[in-house]
Structure 1
């Protein structure tokens, strides 16, 4: 089985690629902007016919699209998250119409949740900002494509290699910096200053996400158009930060500064996905606790050493 992974060089794509390479009988091809990629692809700018030629040569049995933008202005988000999946679907219809497409969406597509409730895949989507809106546009392009396709709506991923553009990676970087400074002679007690941490999020280990992608790529027969992939419970962001601080051995103060949080956190105070459908369609359930995810994140994070 030939599986093409787009965005393999990114955080999620790297974990997905590693997981798929362990699948017996699978040959994994990587696609991206790097000249070293098996298939050179830039979904933000490629034309459908050019991408179709590249896909025809690769002849994939399945394509996993992990390419996406989480930051930047609205134009950047739209180019990668909305235009990209539409171009990919057009190219696949031309070059490999029988290939299974697994596209990574986002729980941000749902928008603000109702405290205490889990959102199912049939709920109306009312994204709170450009990121969620562009991811929703990408999902619509995939589900309306007529291809053998499934969108995995991912919760908040946590694990080794988390980038500083997201909260887990940013907190890990701050903790590493604080640890380095704590080793300096006469260093004051460390203090971690963050924004409001009262929001609730549905965290999922990147290893569990990668396993869901594997199952979505190899499970025979048609799948539901959208499947939620999350931890299945809402936890306070404050719990993630405190847990990561404990894993790192941080003994300083954690300060929640007024106005320091993201606009999206203020708009979306609760997010929790119902993952029942993924269990029924794929036989998938998350296997890692948030604590295990945080331990993996910190173990893989380089610790900053203070200058003498």
Structure 2
């Protein structure tokens, strides 16, 4: 039986991928910081910090995974800019601890969740990038992920562990926190609708084009690839992306059309990133060829899910 370990299982994507993995019939375990939002039946979970090398090593040796989906890490570009030291500690030191732990389970496959952010300045080409593009990361978060890829390419062959690198682009959905742009818009709209904030929505740069997916499609891509782990080549790299760049302004327009009350839009200087890439999009043809994957959640449905989730989060405090 497959034994699949998910790190960062209590996070945004973990909550969506665990039920899909459990439905495959595999034995599934998750580790992370804090408690998950809801644990599928039959899935084991322990609260373990990746920086706790002893606890991590003991858990991996005990569970002996055949596949590991490494979601854990600091994923916010903005947070990495204000706390670069912590980003490097979690995203690289934590990864090194995981490498030390998986030395006990040669033959397993590590699916490393990197990021489309690693392409950085390569996006200046102005079109959707394939995995052949040279990564030129432009921020701390992206650099930590690119270094993580290099660390794994160097170390995993020495311990007999196969590597598959996943480079997801922007994804949205229920459970995402407001450090991310679409969740921020939805949260602000929900508070305005509930009368808990003035009718003014703060934004950053709205002209940039980004590649968005619903988190359900991203989780589905992970599960599809894990299901084919034996046939994937060591060192494989897969973009997970829609290939359809959208302006942030168009995303906001879609949410505004779903809002129950009118509001003004105000540019907040602290939300504007300097030297923003004008267009960032990925070509996921390799993923489609390997698994048949393609996005299934309609964009309108994805936006509705995000806004409904933001409203639901306010509901417990009402009355």
State the TM-score, normalized to the length of structure 1.
Answer: 0.88
Aligned to 2:120: 111
8 A Cα contact 2:255 2:307, kept in partner: yes
Aligned to 2:52, the other structure's residue is in SS state: coil
Higher deviation after alignment, 191-200 or 32-41: 32-41
Higher deviation after alignment, 115-124 or 96-105: 115-124
Counterparts of 1:250 and 1:115 in 2: how far apart (Å)? 40
Of Structure 1 and Structure 2, the greater helix share is in: 2
**Runs of 4+ displaced beyond 4 Å:** 34-37, 303-308
Counterparts of 2:173 and 2:125 in 1: how far apart (Å)? 26
Say which of 65, 69, 84 aligns to 2:70.
65
8 A Cα contact 2:205 2:273, kept in partner: no
Aligned to 1:202, the other structure's residue is in SS state: strand
Aligned pairs for 1:142-291 (under 5 A) are 142-144=152-154, 145-146=156-157, 147-181=161-195, 190-219=199-228, 220-223=230-233, 225-257=236-268, 259-263=269-273, 266-291=275-300
Aligned pairs for 1:125-136 (under 5 A) are 125-136=135-146
Post-superposition offset of 1:286: 1.3
Return 5+ residue gaps in structure 1 as ranges.
Answer: none
Post-superposition offset of 1:34: 4.2
Number of matched residues? 297
Cα distance change on mapping 1:307 and 1:148 into 2, 3 Å: closer
Post-superposition offset of 1:111: 0.5
State the TM-score, normalized to the length of structure 2.
Answer: 0.85
Aligned to 1:38: 45
Return 5+ residue gaps in structure 2 as ranges.
Answer: 37-43
Counterparts of 1:181 and 1:50 in 2: how far apart (Å)? 46
8 A Cα contact 1:83 1:138, kept in partner: no
Cα distance change on mapping 1:203 and 1:307 into 2, 3 Å: closer
Aligned to 1:12: 13
